[in-house]
Chains A and B, each alone.
Chain A
Amino acid sequence: MNSAVIVFPGSNCDRDLAVALEQVTGRKPAMVWHRETELPEGVDFIGVPGGFSYGDYLRSGAMAARSPIMRAVTAAAGRGVPVIGICNGFQVLTEAGLLPGALMRNAALKFVCREVPLRVENSQSLFTANYDAGEEIAFPVAHHDGNYQADQATLDRLEGEGRVAFRYLDEVNGSARRIAGILNDSGNVLGLMPHPERAFEPAHGGTDGRRLFEGLLETVNA
């Protein structure tokens, strides 16, 4: 699997994601600067990392979503290339229109930084094939704007189409229906606030996140 990690000014989880991808795929991902207009040839997985792109100016992810490389990411997503957006990356993907809804300030107005239990709601996606449906796992979260909101019709559609990939077991940030991660309608774009790349090695306190990348590698290579 040839992966690419998009790097914006203010990204700070790009290296963590690159380390995780290199360990799983055996190949160093291409680190692609936001001003590039094209992705490297043959990229078959794209990661949009966490951080504080553009200092969260205007709205979290808003500026990054309009940067030149995002046109190439949108085109690749349209061709079916799997794209994951983690934390700020999730915010970027919603701002870019690749995922529905918006991520607002946490309901309690506090930055939340801790490990949270999650339920895998859909184990049939490209990204979740290595989990069992309904399995309870734990990833860390670290965000101020993780409060997922969309109108009722959109939420109902996400639920009905199995596009809620992960759900918080407890109240974390005020997200509608405790949604932690969602898929696009084709199932090849996942956005989630929790950090699978930070639950990768036993020293991280858990390895539940590693299985996401391993499952993705298996489905992409299959």
Chain B
Amino acid sequence: MKARVFITLKNGVLDPQGKAIHHALEGLGFSGVNDVRAGKLIELDLADGTEDSAIEDMCRKLLANTVIENFRIERLEPAE
């Protein structure tokens, strides 16, 4: 089974990278972008039957720094 972990900066944490991307988009003439936040996507290929709690543990212990980041786990259905 596969799972995706989305790691995003917590609200209120300044995201200079997102700001720079926002600025570059404006420079390219894209108007109407209110804000940009950059994060990470980590894809995990896991043994079948891996519990949600194990994935959450991975996020808390390594994948995310919960001082500044949130994480969201998305399980992917097995490919047909």
A interface residues with partner B (beta carbon < 8 Å): 58-59, 62, 66, 94-95, 100-102, 104-109, 147, 149-150, 174
The interface residues of chain A, by DSSP majority, are classed as: loop
Q: Tell me if A102 and B68 are in contact (CB < 8 A).
A: yes
Q: Tell me if A109 and B65 are in contact (CB < 8 A).
A: no
A residues less than 8 Å from B16 (CB atoms): 104-109, 147, 174
B residues less than 8 Å from A102 (CB atoms): 65, 67-68
Which of B13, B17, B62 sits near A66, CB closer than 8 Å? B62
Which residue of A is nearest B10, CB measured? A151
> Nearest Cβ in chain A — how far from B26, in angstroms?
16
Separation of A100 and B65 alpha carbons in the complex (Å) = 12
Supposing A58-B62, A102-B68, A104-B68 touch, asked if A149 and B20 sit within 8 A by C-beta, the answer is no
B residues less than 8 Å from A174 (CB atoms): 14, 16
B residues less than 8 Å from A66 (CB atoms): 61-62
25 contacts between A and B (CB under 8 A): A58-B62, A58-B63, A59-B65, A62-B65, A66-B61, A94-B67, A95-B65, A101-B67, A102-B67, A102-B68, A104-B13, A104-B14, A104-B68, A105-B16, A106-B16, A107-B14, A107-B16, A109-B16, A149-B13, A149-B14, A149-B67, A149-B68, A150-B67, A174-B14, A174-B16
Which residue of A is nearest B12, CB measured? A151
B interface residues with partner A (beta carbon < 8 Å): 13-14, 16-17, 20, 61-63, 65, 67-68
Chain A CB within 10 A, most for which of B16, B17, B61: B16
Chain A CB within 10 A, most for which of B17, B61, B62: B62
> Nearest Cβ in chain B — how far from A10, in angstroms?
17
Separation of A105 and B17 alpha carbons in the complex (Å) = 8
The 5 closest A-B pairs by CB, nearest first: A102-B67, A102-B68, A109-B16, A107-B16, A105-B16
Separation of A82 and B14 alpha carbons in the complex (Å) = 32
Separation of A95 and B62 alpha carbons in the complex (Å) = 9
Separation of A150 and B14 alpha carbons in the complex (Å) = 11
